[in-house]
Amino acid sequence: MADSQERWCLVTGGRGFAARHLVEMLILYDIYAVRIADLGPEIKLQTHEEKGSLGKALSSGRAQYVSMDLRNKSQVYKACEGVEVVYHMAAPDSSINNHQLHYSVNVHGTKNIIDACTVQKVKRLIYTSSPSVVFDGIHGVHNGVETMPYPATHNDSYSSTKAEGEALVIKANGINGLLTCCIRPSSIFGPGDKLFVPSLVSAARAGKSKFIIGNGMNMYDFTYVENVAHAHVCAERALASGGTVSKRAAGQAYFITNMEPIKFWEFMSLILAGLGYDRPQIKIPAFFLMPIAHLIECIYQRLAPYGMWAPQLTPSRVRLLTCNRTFSSLKANDRLGYRPIVPLQEGLKRTIESYYDLRAELWHSKERPSKTALCLGNGMVADILLWRDAKVTIGAIVVMFGFYVNFVVPGHTMITAISKVFIMASVFLFIHGKLPNKLLGFTLDKIPNSKFQFTDTWSHQTALSLASYWNYLAYTLKSISTASDSVLFLKTVISLVILGLIGTMSLQSFFTKVVPIAFVAFYLYEQKENEIDGFLLEKSVPIKHLSSSIFLRLLNLSKSIHKRE
């Protein structure tokens, strides 16, 4: 399969985030020809890759791509044929809570790699593990070292199966001349990541990145992706050195970090601020989120057999965001000769520059939703009330009119009206399910099961929304008590007055008065947002002075009472 004149290495999961950087580094160092293995039937290069070293290496034959599934033993054996070194980096997405998938890839797939290496007489195997193999999901880790044992229970199935795979690789050291070691890179970041920074920006654009979970003092070790690639090269070179160096390096696991611990939420803030978004400032105590997370997890345990997706907000993830996770790389420095080649601040700078398309100013100028849209959730309700799509809005009006005529005008109570709606919906769904896929030459689209599932995104966003509303309420009360935001005070008073009026209305009055006003008011406010806010600010100045005077007098009164006591 490989050119007998070439010395080949294999990178499994070679199209993954960190693996791409390793492939580029291996091509640059020109010690081995590089075989890239991944699930795709063929390699698809990005524009910069086509013009760069990878494209040139593929064209010249110094690199080649093979389609390989770790769970397919014959494909693994074929990929390892004629290879001197294997960098085993392939793994499923750690955010997917699917034990069967993780076990089949991280354990059985790693067994296949080890078997292929021993049969094909591969000389060295470097396995990409994770610091999570020593994390129990409860207790933080401060300056962790490799002598830490695996916990009795892991944080999730990804961590437990990575630990099993790691143990297999360490145990395989010395079999048929194979030298092995394991790399545990901590919290990888850098250019090309399609998960961490995009998710952070998405949260910022939805107004959900302003929160700090916990006290914000927990320390983390983040590792720039180029340093992770460099650590793999250092590990391979140490194993290849022979003698005492190889013996000391082989059969071991190593924590890899930037050797610059930083507060977790400070790191998040640096990324967000670098891209032009607000830094998180509002702190949500972990004890507040924990009951919500436990509730979601309980619901998931009950509904998982019926297809509910695994939630993102779980007790273990709340702990993960609030605990310390720092690790020592002294052993890697001593036995592998590893030192970070890119400092943390430089890595942050390169990362931020690489995501120019996600910068806040570009979003503000193109697609930033208005305050009204954010208030309405920027979803279907916003689309309807803000007349974004006339057909959708008119359709909603027709539906509400039908509800009004059939359920409100006859004088039904709210419970009776809702019950009848559910009866009609049940009848419709039953008949729709019984109908064939094709009827009178027309194709009927069946409702997919996914429409009846609680997705992890939905549950995660619901929990964050609850926390967001709670903190906004606390912020509003705080602002009112200090008289620091007169506009907010005026809006709060007006909103409460309107809510009080709505509460006194009958269902019929609500449909004939409130709903039409809502369609007009929200639309007008979005169109004249700046003018209305400016008017409120101008008119609220006297109120601010008055409220400040009142609160100051009350404060002085309370102080005088306290002194007397």
> What positions carry a catalytic annotation?
162
Which helix or strand (DSSP H or E) is residue 181 part of? strand 179-185
How many Å is the maximal CA-CA distance in the chain?
95
Amino acid at 181: C
Which helix or strand (DSSP H or E) is residue 254 part of? strand 252-256
Tokens of 28: 């640059």
Cα Rg of the chain, angstroms: 30
Tokens of 386: 């803000």
Three-state SS for 388? coil
Q: Is the dihedral of CA 121, 18, 185, 96 positive or negative?
A: negative
- Nearest CA to 68 out of 38, 43, 93, 88 is that of 38
Report d(CA 399, CA 395) in Å as an integer.
6
Provide CB contacts within 8 A for 25, sequence distance 6+.
Answer: 226, 229, 230, 233
Tokens 């359920």 — which residue? 407
* Contact yes or no for 21/226 (Cβ under 8 A): yes
* Contact yes or no for 25/31 (Cβ under 8 A): no
- Residue 513 DSSP label: I
